[in-house]
Chains A and B, each alone.
Chain A
């Protein structure tokens, strides 16, 4: 078992290692490893206005997606969990998992049809990206939260809170949300990872002025290898920053929950 895992890890990590090595390599043509060490590729990526713009676009689009998925997903999962009727629950689950079953490409064409119309001429706006990514990632949030709600036996926790004098609003803000902080953070990490790396949908619906990073990154591979490697490592760094930010969410919620106890 151990050597299978080891082999798999090598398979997984080798491309990343090569990317990092390549990003610092001066020249890399037809050799196993590049020659010379340089930081010029990073300087080039940082100096490229379209990459700078794409970096910032990805940052705010991902942050906005995370916020909207949280604002929609938490109440939705809660409502589904509490739904008395079996059909309401099943319907909600299907609705919430539909975007996983529907390829992003189909979603994108739908977006193009709807948002290029005269009544909704928003195609190309950054908010269409946020909307699309929210639809794509919402199921992960809802499923993760729903599983945790069952696991925590949230219903009994709420009954306990109610018997101790908490109203509906207090139960939601002081018990439900803080108790879900671990699964919320885990779900947000997945949501951010998908939102940062998503290509199919954003490539089709992004406007020229707000192309996210992966869309611009594709063009890097038409140029120098070192530049492409550096640009890709920046995307990895971006993903890392976002997952650190979600870890921050968890301690943030804990702090809020504890501050008034």
Chain B
């Protein structure tokens, strides 16, 4: 199956600065939702501007539905974009906003009104079609923006941090709505966000960006369980991370001592990073094979269903998560839960 949206070796640098994106390769298939996450300034928004045609790449190719649109103006790309500020037209009613792209495509008034009303119904706004943007709540405006971006059957949907302006409760509801509506329209979507939980929960695949480059693209589970490097491990989810060296075929040495790992074939002395997810820090003395620690809880945060604690041992701290409430005297980590990663990559740009 050909990709709905493809980026090949795309690079761009803002004139007179080092910021931009470099060597971006990314393909989004039909019906697929790919989330792009990364810290601010990593080039996420630049990516949207390049795909939207508001910036021209220095090198590389942008394809939409198999057509090369690298040089096409924004109006010819046929992309549905939901902007961070939503960019609803303040002087037009909700349905008129949604009908705007149809008007630009030359549809008659009756026809575009009918299509706009249908789209407004599909995003769950029936009855509010005649309101102006200022008369709608944040979540409702979000739905109008989505309907406007989808009503003309775009070749792909771009979402530029669309939920960042909403309050927490609305944000949770809207992210499921985005997924539902995207699936209903069967459109390829690229969702830019700085919220890793949002990305993990609704995306088919997640791309993690840093300093203008994609560090890893994979399914949410793979990104979490098998991060490509220390940066990805630290950015996605909670993590205990240490720098270390390989001490043997099943051991690594770190600041908190030598840890037993699953057998691995690295050369002794090689620089590596070590990851232990908090849910793998288990309470109790553990068995003979486990990495066993004694120490004391130095921070304890009760979060309702969960409890996050910092367990200080000789040489460092282990962050853990548990559902139990009692005192914690010892913790252990199974060898297979000690993940060895490449050390932090350093790009030479």
Contact = CB atoms under 8 A, between A and B. Distances in A.
Answer yes or no: do A and B interact. yes
A163 B104 contact: no
Counting chain A CB atoms within 10 Å of each CB, the highest count among B77, B80, B87 belongs to B87
A160 B149 CA distance: 9
A162 B74 contact: yes
B92 A164 contact: no
Contact of A163 (B79, B85, B103): B79
A261 B100 contact: yes
A170 interface: yes
Nearest to A254: B91
A261 B92 CA distance: 8
A167 B100 CA distance: 12
Interface in B67-109: 73-75, 77-81, 83, 85, 87, 89-93, 96, 99-101, 103-105, 109
B85 A178 contact: no
Contacts of B93: 258, 261
A6 interface: no
Interface string B251-284: 0000000000000000000000000000000000
A166 B75 CA distance: 6
B89 A157 contact: yes
Nearest to A181: B91
B52 A159 contact: yes
B185 interface: no
Nearest to B73: A162
A175 B75 CA distance: 15
B109 A260 contact: yes
Contacts of B292: none
B143 interface: no
B75 A167 contact: yes
A152 B86 CA distance: 12
Interface string A158-188: 0111111111001000110011010000000
Contacts, number: 74
B97 to A, nearest CB: 9
Q: Which of under 10, 10 to 19, 20 to 34, or 35 or more describes the interface residues of A?
A: 20 to 34
A178 B91 contact: yes
B308 to A, nearest CB: 39
A170 B104 contact: yes
Interface residues of B, number: 29
B152 interface: yes
A92 interface: no
Contacts of A170: 104
A257 interface: yes
A170 B106 CA distance: 12
B101 A164 contact: yes
Given A159-B52, A260-B109, A261-B92, A165 B85 contact: no
A257 B85 CA distance: 22
A118 interface: no
Given A163-B74, A163-B77, A164-B148, A261 B54 contact: no
A157 B75 contact: no
B103 A261 contact: yes
Contacts of B52: 159, 163
A152 B109 contact: no
B83 A165 contact: no
Contacts of B152: 164-165
Contacts of A161: 89, 100
Interface in A240-261: 254, 257-258, 260-261
A179 B87 contact: no
Contacts of B103: 260-261
B75 A165 contact: yes
22 contacts: A156-B85, A156-B87, A157-B87, A159-B54, A159-B74, A159-B83, A160-B81, A160-B87, A163-B52, A163-B79, A163-B80, A164-B101, A165-B78, A165-B152, A166-B100, A166-B104, A174-B100, A178-B89, A181-B91, A254-B91, A258-B93, A261-B103
Pick the 7 closest A-B CB pairs, nearest first.
A165-B104, A261-B96, A160-B87, A164-B101, A162-B74, A178-B91, A163-B81
Interface of B: 52-54, 73-75, 77-81, 83, 85, 87, 89-93, 96, 99-101, 103-105, 109, 148, 152
Given A165-B101, A179-B91, A261-B92, 5 more contacts: A156-B85, A157-B89, A159-B52, A161-B89, A166-B104
